[in-house]
Amino acid sequence: MTAAPIDPLLEPVIAAARQAQGQGCLDRWLRGFLLQMDPDHWRSVLEVLHLDPALLLAAVQAAIPIAEAQAVNPRSLALRQWLVELDPLDRPNLMTLLHLSASRRDDWEVMIWTGSLIEAWQTGDPPAYFPVLPLWDHLLATGQTEAVLSLGEVLAERQPDARVKSGILAVLAQLARPDHPERLRAYAPHWQPLDLACPTAAALIKALNHGSLAIGLGILITARELEPDDIARLGLMANGIRYLSNAGHLVEMRGAIEEIVSQWQLDRSLVTGRQLTVTEQEEVAFIVLFVLCYDWPYVEDNPDRIRGIQQAAAAKFSQFTQARYAVTVPLSPLPEVGSRLLRIGYLGSYFRRHSVGFLSHHTLAAHDPAQVQTFCYHLDPPDDQDDIYRQFRAQAGVFRDCHGWDPARVTAQIRVDRVDVLVYMSGLENRLGCEVVCLGAAPIQLSWLAGDSPGLPELDGFLVDPHLLSEQAAPRYSEPLLRLPTFTAVSGFAVDPWDPVDLKRRLGIPLEWVVFWTAAPAKKRSLESIRCQLEIVAQVPQSVLVIKGSGDTQAVINLFQQELRDPTLAQRIRFLPRTATQEQHRGQLAMVDLILDTFPYAGSTHTLEALTLGIPVLTLAGEHYYTRQSYSLLKSVGLDACITWDLESYVSQGILLGRDPAALQSLKQQLKESYPHAPIWDPEGLARALEQHYRQLVVDSKGC
């Protein structure tokens, strides 16, 4: 049998290969060949050369990252598919192929690569579950729940640890509950409700950004199978609330919150109406403070009720924290003030690229070194790749990375540093920071940024401004409200410019149309705000609504689509994916005419970014701290026309502004005129105000 004739055009290629083989550099030639030659000709050439399979395998593996770095997608895909033939058990390669197939919405390929990955997992060492989580999240985001369940079953089956296996199956059961009852029944004998609280299940759920609705509802259903007075039920209910918030399903969240408040008879003294062990009391205090009261403002503007329960839980949490930790370094009394430098400590987890970092680093950089020496205590992992983190490190008098420290050690260090005033900047988002405050790390302790004050009894003040909290709010707080000119100030934001004309064309938006914009995490998207935003767009001809945000984006898309009363309105809705950086996100705002704020949890950083770039924001203000962040910023620049107080006025003002280009232009001009004098553009002025407060607090504390 004669070999197939060789294409004459390929003969020079084969000759070059043989020359390279003779010179001992065939591997280098082969890598270049794979990166340059049309994949359709690979086999024709290589069949003639009769290469060592190991050499070919190494060449393909080496060529893949080069092709992917060059963004040569068809070539890198062909290389990966060939790698399957050479090494069908290469798990990372199969996972990548499955990821790519899901991105292309190719159901047939998803089925093929899912089966191949299952075969690979059934051979050799048991697969670890943690590296699989990004793939699972992507599969859920692209609607491939069936693939996740199939992979998860094999992953669980191969785990040697029974606790890990049951934790995986507990999570799979929540994903299967809505649409796969047969799988749910099959999993039932192999997991118990408490498995949802095990470390494996917790890690899985935390990593799965998508599928949050199914997981959250599933956890609530599972929790309700337990006795009402079971502390485990409370913990599961709290977890369910967290995942519903990530999916933006605030109605279900509110129902679960009310259920907890009612069943546990929570009130301003945190009385639960039942006998609990000390450990159970501590768990209740933690759940109520860091889950219930953290998520509650997303669904309801009821500060009297929320703050009462929050401060009761904070007092209990403080009591238990002080009982657990002993600090060996005593708290030194405040020295006389005189003309000495004040020693000011800033404690938190956001001295980096984060909303709090963006809102504070200009002000901290503006501190007068002749007045204060600053100490920053960073509770998150250090990250030298983060430019904002590097700026904080460079501008602080002393910067301490405290990641991994326990609260007693952090407290001791702050006391050793003889800090006069400690400013806590992470609210209820960091348990360690709250524990440090509870232990009394400094003679004077304040809260600032990162949301509402945590309500800890050891706080001596809450830094706000004239608008962030009304005068009527003071009785809700155990600490004094210290009024600054503004709660934040920036000198600008870095922007990667986008051409607004080009961006509109990419999104299919006619150039003359009005662009409304709403960007927010899923947990801020109440049904009321979604309905009002859609109504505004419906009533403004030749307008479009651009929607963007974090969380379970598919769940958010579904929420908007379910609320569309007019099917034709769908043609005027655009869902925009997240950008790689905040600078790119800000650049996209160049095409926006009016931003529609969320409620009851309003914007803060997004609003400030928009105002900095000259774009007005329409907000609905209320009573709770979180309903008034945009309100405060808008008052600072004098845009009262963008402030509303009820649903009807929010909708009517949005329609009015959308229909009146001259009014929008007037607001933009008003914004520009605010830049020389508005407090939010003056971080130096805010730094001076902070320094005056700090010195006065120390003077008052000394009684001199």
Q: Which two tokens stand for residue 106?
A: 């190719």
Say which DSSP state 382 is in: P
Model's pTM, two decimal places? 0.83
Whether 525 and 553 have beta carbons less than 8 Å apart is answered as: no
**What is the four-CA torsion angle of 638, 640, 641, 647, rounded to 10 degrees?**
150
Q: Range with the lowest mean pLDDT among 219-223, 316-320, 608-612, 647-651? A: 219-223
pLDDT digits (tens, 9 = 90+) for 66-100: 877 776 567 888 888 888 888 899 999 999 999 99
Closest C-alpha to 88, from 64, 44, 121, 133: 121
CA dihedral 231, 233, 236, 240 (to 10 degrees): -130
Q: Work out the average pLDDT over 418-423.
A: 98
- In this prediction, residue 704 carries a pLDDT of 47
E strands present in 294-447? 342-348, 372-378, 398-401, 421-424, 444-447
Q: Tens digit of pLDDT for each residue in 276-335?
A: 888 888 999 999 999 999 999 999 999 999 999 999 999 999 999 999 999 999 998 888
CB hemisphere CA count around 366 (13 angstroms): 20
Least confident of 45-59, 218-232, 441-455, 556-570: 45-59
pLDDT of residue 467: 97
| Domains in the chain: ranges and CATH | 220-324 (no CATH), 342-483 (3.40.50.11380), 500-681 (3.40.50.2000)
pLDDT on residue 1:
36
CA distance readout (Å), 452 to 13, 246, 426: 69, 20, 10
Residue 20 pLDDT > 70: no
d(CA 407, CA 242): 25
Predicted confidence at residue 168, as pLDDT, reads 92
Short-list 247, 327, 322, CA closest to 285: 322
Q: Please, are residues 619 and 653 in contact by the beta-carbon 8 Å criterion? A: no
The per-residue pLDDT for 2 is 46
- Residues 140-158, mean pLDDT to the nearest whole number: 91
> In the prediction, which pLDDT does 81 show?
87
Most confident of the following: 38-42, 261-265, 391-395:
391-395
Higher pLDDT, residue 411 or 244: 411
